[in-house]
Structure 1
Amino acid sequence: MTRGLSDKERLAWLRLARTETVGPVAFDHLLQRFGSPERALIALPDLARRAGRAAPLRPPPEDEILRELDDGDRLGARLICACEPDFPHRLASLDPPPPVIWALGHYELLPQPSIAIVGARIASAAGQRFARQLAAELGQHGHVVVSGLARGVDGAAHEGSLSTGTIAVLGGGIADIYPPEHAGLHARIAEAGCIVSESAPLRRAQAKDFPRRNRIISGLSLGVVVVEAELKSGSLITARLAAEQGRDVFAVPGSPLDPRAKGPNDLIRQGAILCEGVEDVLRSLSASPSMRERERTWDPDPAADDLDHDALRERLAALLSPTPVSRDELVRAVKAPTSAVMAALVELALAERADLLPGGLVSSA
């Protein structure tokens, strides 16, 4: 449901989003289950305690959240919550969407037709030239270019699209400039484009932040173009996330003698769209059906009221392992209503006994 938030609701929304162990999956479930972030915050400590959390789960104090809001205001950034009308509609269609994003610069670029261009940090001169030219041509055809402000292909894609519209998605906060040599590019994007992050404005990026960053890059975009990437790279993670989100995946072919071509060549082998220029992207987009936003509602199952919820939670905990498994498979294994299984999994996540992963997967923590 799209709606505005009062200052009080906004504070509670951000406080719930910043609570330890509450990721996008848990946030989405808690909001639907309890109806508001305020009620979810009240219920959190007891849910975590019942699930076996050793230390009390305490949401961050309001002062900490107010400091984050002040930091964003000082930078001239805007906080956009997932329920608000200005939240990008393609990002809102993710299951689940990030609860909040910070946007610095021209946030009106976010809902416009966008294509992501990603690739190797240590990119060849030819790869960077291709990314820069493709970004410029996409911009000339009315597409905003999304990338991650990294060295190599990302930086070239931003440079090529600065004059027509570019979005940089960061792993750290919007003020965390990485790599340092992109300080000038960061400033130019903040002036002419838009910088986006799911993290607090002053947060320094950590390794665990980059998969979330990649999910937003693909989530904002109609498709993702991989220019150069080795077989184990963040760019291929972005491509996988794009495929899971129903976006087009494009790959630029390269020489089999170059390790940086192995990633795109393997994507083509798996069914990605071969990209030799802007015409390949435009042709595919014109043939693709428009994306539909999903409407999700909390639909309690009356049968769930008769369950022994403590026993169900422990059965699920025993089924989990470090190998991710789908939530649907767990539902089949315990033969319990989906709503009850999801509630139990969220409680296990709050107690740090489970990890709720993108794509409907769950593993032990």
Structure 2
Amino acid sequence: MSDARTLAWLRLSLCPGIGAVTFEKLRAIDSPLNIVSYSPQELASIGLKSHQVAFIHHQSIALAEQALAWASVERRYIVASGDKAYPPLLSETKGAPPVLFVEGQLSLLAAPQIAMVGSRNATLEGLEIARSYASTFAKHDYCVTSGLALGIDGHAHQGALDAQGPTIAVLGSGLSQIYPARHKSLASRIAEHGALVSEHLPSVKPRAEHFPRRNRIVSGLSLAVLVVEATEKSGSLITAKYAAEQGRDVFAIPGSIRHPFHSGCHSLIKSGACLVQSPNDLLSEIESLTNWSKKVQPTLFDQVIDKEELPFPDLLANVGIEATPVDILAQKTHIPVQEVMQQLLELELLGHVVAVNGGYILKGRG
């Protein structure tokens, strides 16, 4: 993406009150490059409020240019949804961030990932399990993704690094405001051997409301989510909830029924999460999904799929991992509903899509 387009995406996405959903609605009206050039009257006509109009015209340029200056340093990147470098799994989720700030190995965003989350106040056994499992996943060529928090998150990152494997840390602050401060050294190692990711401007300080939203990125980047230890009200259960909504497999490690740190995992298992007693339990479950991804959708692993070779590429390009109704597909492709239904039937017979509750998904991604 050119600097001009990146600047436009930043100016629009940084506007107060414009989240991922609103951003996509605006994109459906016009490109960000055009919208930021609208007059105040035109911006108001597409639903923006007076303070948002003022921000776009007077404050957004300076903030966006600061972000571009940050990204001018080696191994720092700004990636917008729609860019080739934007993580393909995350792009298919609802509420995916319009812009990501990345420091480290950009290509890792498309690598097969396993998310590991758990309590900040974990037991010594939980910390050892997190580190050990992460090392095993790394040795099996999976990138370990977590949230850089104290406890399970930090030990999961450390376990991957111990095995000389990659790891991604998703922050609830800007990348120049590492939180917790105790993990600054760990964050530096992750930036060197993996990647740091945030949806916030580099200068943004950590705020309580950022962390639950961060969890949707952790799960959205990953093929599966493993909860190591969690209480009933743990933030890890928010990650698991996002994972389920995004069509990801959720795994949980059981423990003593007398220990509150395991109650969250037990609730997940009762709700349908896969019980894990060893790293191989998870690896064997997601092996078929990984093989399918490499075969059918190799863009997830730094290759390119040529959808022009497949039937009805325009329609197929709009079917993802979340169920999409026929009328929405017709709207996105500008193809009559009746014709969309005929094409979907043929794609289903050929094994490319599956009809599920709520619409259609790519085969193998449910």
TM-score range, shorter chain: 0.7 to 0.9
SS at match of 1:110: helix
Aligned to 1:84: 83
Task: Map 1:181-260 onto structure 2 (within 5 A).
Answer: 181-260=182-261
Q: With CA pairs under 8 Å and 6+ residues apart, which has the higher RCO, 1 or 2?
A: 1
Which residue identity is paired with 2:35? A
Structure 1 residues 273 and 239: CA distance shift in structure 2, 3 A: same
Aligned to 2:114: 115
Which residue identity is paired with 1:7? D
* 1:207-245 Cα distance to aligned partner (Å, 9 max, x none): 121122101100110000001111112100000000100
* 1:223-272 Cα distance to aligned partner (Å, 9 max, x none): 00001111112100000000100111000001111111010000000000
Aligned to 1:94: 93
Structure 1: stretches of 5+ with no match in the other structure: 303-365
Aligned to 1:327: none
**Which one of 2, 5, 8 corresponds to residue 9 of structure 1?**
5
Distance 1:75 1:233 in 2: 37
Which residue identity is paired with 2:157? H
Q: Is the 8 A contact 1:119 1:235 kept in 2?
A: yes
RMSD, aligned CA: 2.4
Q: Is the 8 A contact 1:145 1:165 kept in 2?
A: yes
Distance 1:174 1:49 in 2: 35
Aligned to 1:168: 169
Structure 1 residues 108 and 152: CA distance shift in structure 2, 3 A: same
Q: Is the 8 A contact 1:149 1:168 kept in 2?
A: yes
Distance 1:301 1:187 in 2: 44
* 1:54-85 Cα distance to aligned partner (Å, 9 max, x none): 75633233122101211233474111111111
The Cα shift of 1:9 comes to 1.4
Distance 2:331 2:134 in 1: 43
TM-score where L is the length of structure 1: 0.76
**Which one of 34, 40, 48 corresponds to residue 39 of structure 1?**
34
Aligned to 2:318: 295
* 1:140-173 Cα distance to aligned partner (Å, 9 max, x none): 1110000000000001000000111100000101
2:18 paired with 1:18: no
Aligned to 2:348: none
Aligned to 1:140: 139
Q: Is the 8 A contact 2:167 2:194 kept in 1?
A: yes
The Cα shift of 1:19 comes to 0.8
* 1:316-357 Cα distance to aligned partner (Å, 9 max, x none): xxxxxxxxxxxxxxxxxxxxxxxxxxxxxxxxxxxxxxxxxx
SS at match of 1:299: helix
Aligned to 2:300: none
Structure 1 residues 159 and 52: CA distance shift in structure 2, 3 A: closer
Q: Is the 8 A contact 1:72 1:201 kept in 2?
A: no
Distance 1:155 1:253 in 2: 20
Task: Map 1:270-281 onto structure 2 (within 5 A).
Answer: 270-281=271-282
SS at match of 1:61: helix
The Cα shift of 1:29 comes to 1.3
2:306 paired with 1:283: no
Q: Is the 8 A contact 1:71 1:202 kept in 2?
A: no
Distance 1:298 1:20 in 2: 32
The Cα shift of 1:6 comes to 2.2
Distance 2:150 2:182 in 1: 9
Which residue identity is paired with 1:123? A
* 1:117-147 Cα distance to aligned partner (Å, 9 max, x none): 0000000000000000000000111100000
Distance 1:250 1:43 in 2: 50
Task: Map 1:68-79 onto structure 2 (within 5 A).
Answer: 68-74=67-73, 76-79=75-78
Distance 1:79 1:156 in 2: 27
Which residue identity is paired with 1:211? P
Which residue identity is paired with 1:181? R
Distance 1:74 1:57 in 2: 31
Residue correspondences, number: 297
Which residue identity is paired with 2:99? V
